[in-house]
Structure 1
Amino acid sequence: MSDAAHETTHQLIQVVALLGAAVVAVPLFRKLRLGSVLGYLAAGLAIGPFGLGLFSDPQSILHVAELGVVLFLFLIGLEMRPSHLWSLRRQIFGLGALQIVLAIAALTLVLRAFGFTGAVAFVGASGFVMTSTAVVMQLLSERGDIALPHGQKIVSILLFEDLLIVPLLALIAFMAPAQATAVDAASRWASVGIGIGSLVALIVAGIYLLNPMFRILAAAKAREVMTAAALLVVLGAALLMQLGGLSMAMGAFIAGVLLSESSFRHQIEADIEPFRGILLGLFFLGVGMALDLAVVASNWPLIVAGVLALMATKAACIYVVARLTRSAHREALERAVLMAQGGEFAFVLFAAAAGSGLVDATVNANFTAIVVLSMAVTPLFVLASGPLTARRGTATLDGVDAVADQSGSVLIIGFGRFGQVMSQSLLARDVDVTIIDTDIEMIQSAGEFGFKVYYGDGTRLDVLHASGAHRARAIAVCVDDRDAADRIVELAADAFPQARLLVRAYDREHALKLVNAGVDVQVRETFESAVLFGAAALRALDVPADEADAIAAQVRRLDAERFELELASNDTRAGIPLLLNNTAAPAPRPAPLTRPRREGRRLNDAAQAGDGPPA
C-alpha cells in the first residue's frame, strides 16, 4: 500500500472512530439521563491520545470543531431580531459586566491562595470566568429553555463574555514580560483599528448585501447553492472577525442577527442545522480528547481542588449577582450551576499567556485540565441540582409569570396589537380568558394597564397544556408569525379537538392553508380594515354613505367568491367537498389524516378576510 493510500485509510479510520464513538456514547449517556454533552466528552476521552490513542493531536480536531460553536451562535443570532437584542442591552452590558467583574476578582483571590503570583492568578481567573458557550447552550437547548426569560439572561451574559475576549487578550499582552512585548503602540492601535474596521465591514455587508444575494440565489432555484450560500455567510463572517482579531463566534452571531428579519431566515436555519449539530458534537469530542490524563495524574490534588474551588467560587458570584438583580432563588441557583464551569475561550487566553511568557507550560497544562474537567462535570452537577432548581407552579421571573395550570374558557396566543383589540370584545362580555405571549416587555407593559398576560411559547405542546388548552372552548391564535401560527394550528388541531380554533391569517394563501388545516375561523389581518378605509375614502370624496357601504359590501362579496373558487380548486384536488355558505351545519367528523379536522363553518369569515391579490 502506498504512503498516500495508507494516509487516506488512516484518516478514514479516524472519521469512522469519531462517528462510531458518538453513535455509541451519546445514546447511552442520554439513556442514563446524563446528557449528550457528557457522552461526547467521554467518547472523546476514550478514543483520544490518553485513551485508545486513535488520535495524537486533539488540538487539530478542536480547531475544526470550533465551527460547531460558530454555527450554533449563528442560529441563536437568527432568533435575535435587532429590536429584541436592543431590549436585552441592560442584561448584556449591565448584568454581564457585574458578573464578570465580581467573578474575576474572587477567582483571582482563590488562585492567589493556591500560591500563584498575581499575574498568573489573574490569567487563570480571566480564563475560568469565560463560561463555555457550547456546554451551556447545548444544555439549554436540550431543555427548551433558550427562549425563556432566564435563558435569555444567560445568553446575554454569554454574548458579553464573547465581547470580552478581545480586551482580555489585549490586557494579557500588556502584562507580558518586557522582552515579549516589544511591540510599539502604533502597532497596537493598528490592531484595534483593524478590529473595528472588520466589525463595521460585517455590519455594512449584512445590511446591504446579504438579502439581495439570497434573493438572486432563490430565483435560481438551486437548493444546494442556497445551502452553500448559508455556509458562506457564516464562515465568511467568522473569518472576517478572526482576521480582525475578534471572536469567530461573535462574527457568526452578528451575521445571524443581520439576517433575523430576512424572509429567508427559516430556509437558512434549516440548511445550517445539520452542520451545526455534527460540528458541535465534534467540538465536545475534541474537548474530551484534550484532557491530558498524565497531567491530571501527576498534579491531581491541585487540579481536583482547583476545579472544586473555582467552580464553587464562580457559582457563588453568579448567585449573588442574580439575587442582587432581583432574580428568584431557583433561577439564581440554576444559573449558578449552569455557568460555573470554564469555557473554550480559556484555551485561547492560556495559549496567548503561554506564548508571551506570562505563564509556563506546566501552569498552562494545569489550567487547561481544570477548565476541561469543569466542563466535563457540569452536566453531572446540573443533573444533581435538578430537584433544587425545578420550577413548581408559576415561577415569577422579574415580574413575569410563567404560565401553568390555567383554565380560561378562551386561550389567546399572542397579545400584540391584533390580540389586544381582539380580546376587548371577550373581556367586555366577561369571558374568562388566558393570554400568553413571549414578549417580556409587552407582558410587563400590559400588566401596568391591568392585563394579566403569562409568559408562554404557544408552539410548544407542554406550554399549551399548561395554558389550559385541553379545557378551553376556543383557542385564538393571534401571533404575527405565520410559521408559528401554522405550528400552533398543527398542535392544537391534533391535541385539542374540543376547542374551536380561530386563527389570524397573514394573506390569502395563508388563509387557504389554514382552512384546509381544519380551522374553524380564519381572518386575514388587514382586509377588513382596508375595506373600511376604502369606504371612508369614498365618503371623503362626497360619495353618499349608503353607496360607499354598498361598494364595500360588494368588495367583500367578490373577495368571498374568489376565495371560494380558490378553495374549491384546492379541495377538488384533495378530494374534500366544499361548503358554500358560512352558516352550514357542521359535517360529520372526518377520518384522521385524510380530511380536515372540521368541515363545518370552513368558510367562516372568508368574506371578512384577505389582503392577497384577486384570483
Structure 2
Amino acid sequence: MVESSSELYVEGLLLLGGALIAAPLFKRIGLGTILGYLAAGVVIGPVLRLILDGEEILHFAELGVVLLLFLIGLELKPRQLKQMRMDIFGLGASQVLVSGLLLGLMAYFLARQGLAASIIIGLGLALSSTAFALQLLDEYGDLNTGYGQKSFSILLFQDLAIVPLLALVSILAPFSSDDGGSVLTDTGIAIGAIAALLLVGRYLLNPLFQIIANTGAHEAMIAAALFVVLAAATLMELAGLSMALGAFLAGVLLAESRYRHELRADIEPFRGILLGLFFMAVGMSLDLGVLGENWLLIAVAVPAIMLSKSIVLYWLTRAFGSPHNDSARVSGLLPQGGEFGFVIFTAAASQGIFSSEMSSLLVAIVTLTMALTPVVAAVSRRLMRKAEREQMDETFEGAGSDVLMVGFSRFGQIAAQVLLAGGSDVTIIDYSADRIRAASKFGFRIYFGDGTRKEVLIAAGIARARVVAVCTQKKEATDQVVDLIQAEFPNTKLYVRAYDRAHTLSLRDRGVSYELRETLESGLKFGRKTLEAIGAAEDRARDVEDLIRRLDEERLEMQAVDGFHAGSEKVLTKPLTPEPLIRPANREDASGRNRTDAYDDPSVTERETKEDATASPTGLN
C-alpha cells in the first residue's frame, strides 16, 4: 500500500512537471499548449516509459472534457440551443453520415476490410475530438463566432450519436442474435435518462444551490458543483450516452441560474488541470510499436482521412448556409478523429468485427490526427488571414489626413465619430477584415493594414498626420505601434488608448503626448450618474467626479516617481464627511489659519482615508 501510494505521488509529480515545462514552452514558441501537453505525454510515456498506464489515466482525465462541456453549457441558454437545432440535427447528422460513408468506402476498397468492419471504421473515424476542437476555440476566443457555433453543433450531435453507433456494433457483430429489441431498449433508456436529468435540473438544482449558498459554506458550493456535474455525467454513461453530454445538459439547465458565475469560477480550475491531463494521456497512450510496424500505412492514412473530412466539412457547411471563410475554418478545425473513436474501435474488436491489431492501428491513426489538429488549425487560420488581406484594399488611395487612427476598436469608433463631427479628416487602418467589413456598412472609410509595419504607416500617410491616435485593443499591439512610431517617426504626436493603470504608467514613461485609460472616463461618469440617482445634487455629484479624477491623476504622478504601490492614500474606500466641495472664502479654524475642505486638501483626504485605503493587486485600474 505504501509503495502504491508512493508511485501515485511520483506519477503526479511527473505529470505536473511535464505540464509546467512543456505547456509554457510550446505556448511561447507559438505552437499552443495542446501540442505541449501531447509532447510531454509522449516523452513521459512511450519514449522514457516513466508512466506505463496511459490508458487508465486517459479514462480518468476524460473528466476534463466533461467539465469543459459543463462550462460551455453554462454559456448556452435553452433558447439558444433551440435556435441551433438545425445545425445540430441537420449539419451534424449529415457530417457523420457523409464522412462515415466516404471513409467506409476507403476502408472497403483500399484497406480490403469486410463490409461490417468498413461501416464501423468509417463511422468511427467520422467523429471528431470534442476536447481538442473546443480547447482550440477557447484559446482563439472563437467559440461564439459563426464557425465556432457550427463546429460546436457538429460535435454535440456526435456525442448524441454514441448510443446508436455502439448499438450498431452489436448488430454487426458476427453471429449476433440481436433482433432490434435491444436497440429499442437502449434508445428508451437513453431517452428516459435525458428526461430524468431535465426534470431534476428544472425543479431541484436551483433550490439545492440556494440552500447551500444560504449556509455561506464556500467549500460546500464547490463540492455541490462537482457533484452535479459528475452525477449528470454518470447518469448519461449508465444510459449508454457520453458523460460529456450529461455535463453539457446540466450546464444548460443552470445557464439562467443566478449561481452560474459562481459555478463557473468554482469549476474552471478543475477543468484546466484535467483537460491538460487528458491531452498528456493521449500522448502517453500512443503505441510506438504499432507506428513502427505500420509507418507507411499510417503515413498515407492520416493525411487521407484528414483531407477527406475537411472536404466534406467544407461543402456541408457551405450547403447549410455558412460563408466561405467560416466553412474553411470549420474544415480546418474538425478533420481529426475523436476520443469516442477509441471506445467504438475497442468495442468492435472485442465483438470480433475486426482484429485487436486493427483496433490498435486505428487508435494510433486517431491519436496522430488529434496531435496534428493544432498545427492544421493554425495553418488554416493563417491561410484565411492571408486570403482576407489579399481581398482587402491595401492601396491606401486617398489616405493621408490630419489624424491617422491605428485600430478601429469600440474605443476608436467613438473617438472617430467625435473627430469626424468636428470637421477633421481621419485615416483609419485596422488589421481585422471582419471589423472593416462591419464598419464599412456604416460609411466609415477604413484601410486594411498592420500598424506594426513601417511601410503600412508610410502608405497610410503618417508623414502628413498631425496626430496618430493608437486605439488598438491589446496592450502588446499598442506597445509595438508606439515603439515603432517613436523609433521611425520621432516627431509624431502620439495619442494612445491605455489598457489599465500599469499600461498608463508605461506609456507616460515612453513619453507619449497623451494617453487615456479605456475605462476611466466612462467609469467616472457612471459613478456620477449613479450618485445622482440616489439623491445627490447634480453639482455635488459633478464635484465628486472631479475630485476622484484629480486624486487619480495625483496618484499616477506619485506612482511614476515612487513605484506602482505609491499613492494608496488617494484611493477613497469609505464615505467622506459631506462638506461643501468649494473652498469657503476666509474660513478660519481655531488656530486662526485658513482651512480647506476635505475634498480640496489632499492631506485631509489622506488622514480620513488612510486606515482603509489600499491598492488592489491590479492597481485599481
Judge same fold: TM > 0.5, yes or no. Answer: yes
Q: Secondary structure at the match of 1:385?
A: helix
1:87 CA displacement: 2.0
Q: Which residue in the other structure is 1:31 paired with? A: 28
Q: Which residue in the other structure is 2:154 paired with? A: 157
In structure 2, distance between residues paired with 1:491 and 1:356: 63
Alpha-carbon RMSD across the aligned residues, in angstroms, is 4.3
Are the counterparts in 2 of residues 43 and 288 from structure 1 also a CA contact under 8 Å?
A: yes
Q: Which residue in the other structure is 1:53 paired with? A: 49
Q: Which residue in the other structure is 1:455 paired with? A: none
In structure 2, distance between residues paired with 1:25 and 1:107: 34
1:126 CA displacement: 1.1
In structure 1, distance between residues paired with 2:221 and 2:278: 25
Q: Which residue in the other structure is 2:68 paired with? A: 72
In structure 2, distance between residues paired with 1:294 and 1:464: 45
In structure 1, distance between residues paired with 2:94 and 2:86: 11
CA offsets, 1:542-567, max 9 Å, x none?
xxxxxxxxxxxxxx9894149999xx
**Is 2:117 the partner of 1:120?**
yes
Q: In structure 2, what residue type is equivalent to 1:172? A: V
**Is 2:192 the partner of 1:197?**
yes
Question: Kindly tell me: are residues 395 and 208 of structure 1, through their superposed partners in 2, closer, same or farther at Cα, counting changes over 3 Å?
Answer: farther
Q: In structure 2, what residue type is equivalent to 1:250? A: L
In structure 1, distance between residues paired with 2:500 and 2:218: 28
In structure 1, distance between residues paired with 2:351 and 2:528: 66
Q: Which residue in the other structure is 1:406 paired with? A: 408
Q: Which residue in the other structure is 2:347 paired with? A: 352
1:497 CA displacement: 2.4
In structure 2, distance between residues paired with 1:264 and 1:325: 36
Are the counterparts in 1 of residues 163 and 187 from structure 2 also a CA contact under 8 Å?
A: no
Are the counterparts in 2 of residues 330 and 390 from structure 1 also a CA contact under 8 Å?
A: no
**Is 2:99 the partner of 1:103?**
yes
Q: Which residue in the other structure is 1:591 paired with? A: 555
1:238 CA displacement: 0.3
Q: Which residue in the other structure is 1:138 paired with? A: 135
In structure 1, distance between residues paired with 2:237 and 2:356: 25
Q: Secondary structure at the match of 1:497?
A: strand
1:386 CA displacement: 3.9
Q: In structure 2, what residue type is equivalent to 1:111? A: A
Per mean C-alpha deviation after superposition, the further-off stretch among 579-588 and 320-329 is 579-588
Counterpart mapping for 1:118-517 below 5 A: 118-178=115-175, 181-183=176-178, 185-390=180-385, 392=388, 405-406=407-408, 461-462=473-474, 497=516
Question: Kindly tell me: are residues 123 and 499 of structure 1, through their superposed partners in 2, closer, same or farther at Cα, counting changes over 3 Å?
Answer: closer
Identity across matched positions, percent: 40
1:186 CA displacement: 4.1
Q: Which residue in the other structure is 1:532 paired with? A: none
TM-score, normalization by structure 1 = 0.69
Are the counterparts in 2 of residues 45 and 288 from structure 1 also a CA contact under 8 Å?
A: yes
Are the counterparts in 2 of residues 393 and 405 from structure 1 also a CA contact under 8 Å?
A: no
Are the counterparts in 1 of residues 532 and 538 from structure 2 also a CA contact under 8 Å?
A: no
Question: Is the radius of gyration larger for structure 1 or structure 2?
Answer: 2
In structure 2, distance between residues paired with 1:266 and 1:364: 42
Q: Which residue in the other structure is 2:510 paired with? A: none
CA offsets, 1:366-391, max 9 Å, x none?
11111011111222223333431227
Aligned residues: 489
Are the counterparts in 2 of residues 409 and 431 from structure 1 also a CA contact under 8 Å?
A: no
Question: Kindly tell me: are residues 327 and 67 of structure 1, through their superposed partners in 2, closer, same or farther at Cα, counting changes over 3 Å?
Answer: same
Q: In structure 2, what residue type is equivalent to 1:368? A: V
Question: Kindly tell me: are residues 190 and 216 of structure 1, through their superposed partners in 2, closer, same or farther at Cα, counting changes over 3 Å?
Answer: same
1:465 CA displacement: 9.5
In structure 2, distance between residues paired with 1:304 and 1:96: 28
Q: Secondary structure at the match of 1:171?
A: helix
In structure 2, distance between residues paired with 1:382 and 1:88: 24
Q: In structure 1, what residue type is equivalent to 2:50? A: L
In structure 1, distance between residues paired with 2:118 and 2:129: 20
Q: Secondary structure at the match of 2:535?
A: helix
Q: Secondary structure at the match of 1:202?
A: helix
